[in-house]
Amino acid sequence: MNKSIYIFYLLAFVALTNVGVYAGNPDRQGEGGAPELLMNPWARSSGLHTMTTSMISGVEAMRLNVAGLARLNKTEVVLSNTTYLKGTGIHFNAAGLAQKIGKNSALGLSIMAIDFGDIPVTTTLQPEGTGSTFSPRFFNLGLGFSHIFVNKVSVGVLVRAVSEAIQDASASTVALDAGVQYVTGEKDNFKFGISLRNIGGRMQFRGEGLSSEVPFPGFDGDYGGTGNQRTSSFELQSVLNIGLSYDFYAAENHRITPVANYTSNAFSEDQIGGGIEYAFRELVMIRGGYKADFGQFSSDDTKEPLYTGIAAGVTLNVPVSKKANAPRIAIDYAYLSTKVYDGSHTISVRINI
């Protein structure tokens, strides 16, 4: 690896770290928008509370650290469904495709949409409902690229289109993600990763839904007209993730991997957490983790975070034949505890070729 590449890694590390210095501001809680960008629709990484910055790979890497996108055999397809805050009727649907390009590069495509169900339309004159319904439409589409240098350092970048729409009003923008992963050790045991996510333009709702009929005074009495309401633009919720993990091998068939992760949020408290994953012959995996906000132990219960605490998951990863490097089909499940409702449940199906 030549000197210029080392310099590139150093500059990338410094740039990512410096951005994080300005993050973690709880005074700006609620000022950022597009919260769906912080939600993870994939089960395998959700089982460790999305703290696998250092070890995430394939399709799921496009949601946390795109540098891991290239760490797959050849092709990976993932389909996933999440029941978010069970009892609210909100679901995530996601699909992703990752394809190896050459020996050390990969290109990926991911799609995520949120289903809010049918919401009754109410007005000031009909607060009990008009009899009609509407459903918000939150959708994002990501295109990522990752490259591995000498199997030790991988870098990646992702462009994501973000769209939010309600009845007759919508907002959209483009966001960027970037990440680095470093792997070393006799069996590539030690892994370290940094990712910077959701850097992009501001969003602002526009559309006919912001117009209404209003009376305007005149010399001969009031006359009708159309008034347009102004909406404020808002920033995306950018985050910086720093994580590490280490694989311990007990005999040949057992792997135990502890992970640790730090998240610096631009519009809320920073988070820290850790977890552990156990794998038997990479066929069955059990994982669990705990994440906490730095400010969640306040005496004020209203400041307790909604989406921290315990997460757990399991994977069944089965080859379709006994041949070496045979394609595998995996089923992943994850549960995340929440302060209210009955937590979130995610199930994914992965196909690795």
Element containing residue 42 per DSSP (H, E) = none
Res 22: pLDDT? 45
Type of residue at 25: N
Q: 96-113, pLDDT tens digit by residue?
A: 999 999 999 999 999 999
Please give the residue that has the higher pLDDT: either 259 or 210.
Answer: 259
Res 7: pLDDT? 44
Q: 27-42, pLDDT tens digit by residue?
A: 666 678 888 999 999 9
Mean of pLDDT values over 189-205: 92
Res 309: pLDDT? 87
Q: How many independent structural domains does the chain possess?
A: 1
Q: Which of 45-49, 120-124, 197-201, 314-318 shows the lowest mean pLDDT across its residues?
A: 120-124
Res 260: pLDDT? 97
In the chain, the N- to C-terminal Cα span, in Å, equals 30
Radius of gyration (C-alpha) of the chain in whole angstroms: 23
Strand ranges (E), 247-308:
248-250, 254-265, 271-280, 284-293
Res 119: pLDDT? 86
Q: Which of 4-18, 220-234, 277-291, 319-333 shows the lowest mean pLDDT across its residues?
A: 4-18
Residue 215 has pLDDT above 70, yes or no: yes
Burial (CB count <10 Å: 0-12, 13-18, 19+), residue 318: exposed
Give 5's pLDDT tier (boundaries 50, 70, 90).
Answer: low
Q: 311-328, pLDDT tens digit by residue?
A: 999 999 999 988 878 899
Res 31: pLDDT? 75
State the average pLDDT for the chain: 87
CA atoms of 95 and 111, how far apart (whole Å):
5
Residue 16 has pLDDT above 80, yes or no: no
This prediction has a pTM of 0.86
What does the block give as tokens for 30?
Answer: 């609620």
Res 24: pLDDT? 54
Res 291: pLDDT? 93
For residue 28, the enclosing domain spans 3-352
Give 297's pLDDT tier (boundaries 50, 70, 90).
Answer: low
Q: 120-158, pLDDT tens digit by residue?
A: 888 888 888 888 888 899 999 999 999 998 778 999 999
Contact 80, 93 (CB under 8 A): yes
| CA distances from residue 190 to 54, 147, 193, 248, 265 in whole angstroms, order as listed | 9, 19, 10, 9, 26
CATH number at residue 297: 2.40.160
Mean of pLDDT values over 221-228: 67
